[in-house]
Chain A
Amino acid sequence: DAGVTQSPTHLIKTRGQQVTLRCSPKSGHDTVSWYQQALGQGPQFIFQYYEEEERQRGNFPDRFSGHQFPNYSSELNVNALLLGDSALYLCASSLEGRDTQYFGPGTRLTVL
């Protein structure tokens, strides 16, 4: 049973660039959530997707956008990167109606 997978593992970008991160949920899961974890901090909720629509959103600017595909996989896009966007980006999947979220290994984004 494959768990949550994310790609790429690491990414280096410069300020002003755009980035796309990818996530495949755990088999059978239909809901994907994205979190940002700055160094030494707890994760912060970005948004959640279900049935290809953004269902919830945290306090992140519109530069952060996402998408969910019919196979439940998801992308996180960040435009106009800032130095402060450097963080570990975590994807979590869950089953509709269940509270428990399962996390992928994360993508480490460094903005120079």
Chain B
Amino acid sequence: GNSVTQMEGPVTLSEEAFLTINCTYTATGYPSLFWYVQYPGEGLQLLLKATKADDKGSNKGFEATYRKETTSFHLEKGSVQVSDSAVYFCALSDPLNAGNNRKLIWGLGTSLAVNP
């Protein structure tokens, strides 16, 4: 079945360090890929997305490129801040669902802690 695998956390970095959070997926068809962020005690916020192969999503200094050949969508940021501390979720829209508004399939999340 369709699935998303994320690197396990927690990830602990110093401020201004480079961040990579790995995400790989298994899917038939052509899913859209998403990164969501969840700050402590809050709901999920869309961080970025990509809808087709080689697309790059970007927002707030974060980037991820849809790599169909490696079935990956790794999240990167060149210089993290303390305020980036949160849980990051990779997700795909289930390509098996007919039509649009396909349900999202999620990874387990990766916790990031950034120290001053």
Interface on A for B, CB 8 Å cutoff? 4, 6, 31, 33, 35, 40-45, 48, 50, 55-56, 58, 90, 92, 94, 96-106
A43 touches B46 (CB 8 A): no
Identify which of residues 92-108 in chain B touch chain A, using a CB-to-CB cut-off of 8 Å. Answer: 93, 97, 100-108
- Complex Cα distance, B104 from A98, in Å, reads 12
Given known contacts A50-B101, A97-B101, A100-B49, is B43 in contact with A42 (CB within 8 Å)? Answer: no
Which B residues form the contact surface with A (CB < 8 A)?
4, 32, 34, 36, 42-46, 49, 51, 89, 91, 93, 97, 100-109
Q: Please name 13 pairs of A and B residues whose Cβ atoms are closer than 8 Å in the assembled complex, sorted by A.
A: A31-B101, A33-B103, A33-B104, A35-B104, A41-B109, A42-B108, A43-B106, A90-B43, A90-B44, A97-B101, A99-B49, A99-B51, A102-B46
CA distance A101 to B89 in the complex (A): 14
In the complex, which residue of chain A has the Cβ closest to the Cβ of B111? A40
- Closest Cβ of chain B to A57, distance in Å, is 9
Q: Which residues of B contact A58 (CB under 8 A)?
A: 103
* Residues of the B chain whose Cβ atoms lie less than 8 Å from the Cβ of A97: 100-101
Cα distance, A48 to B46, chains bound together (Å) = 19
| Chain B: minimal CB distance from A91 (Å) | 9
Task: Please report the C-alpha to C-alpha distance between residue A44 and residue B108 in the assembled complex, in whole angstroms.
Answer: 10
Cβ B103 vs Cβ A48 within 8 A: yes
Complex Cα distance, B89 from A62, in Å, reads 28
Residue of B nearest to A45 (CB): B103
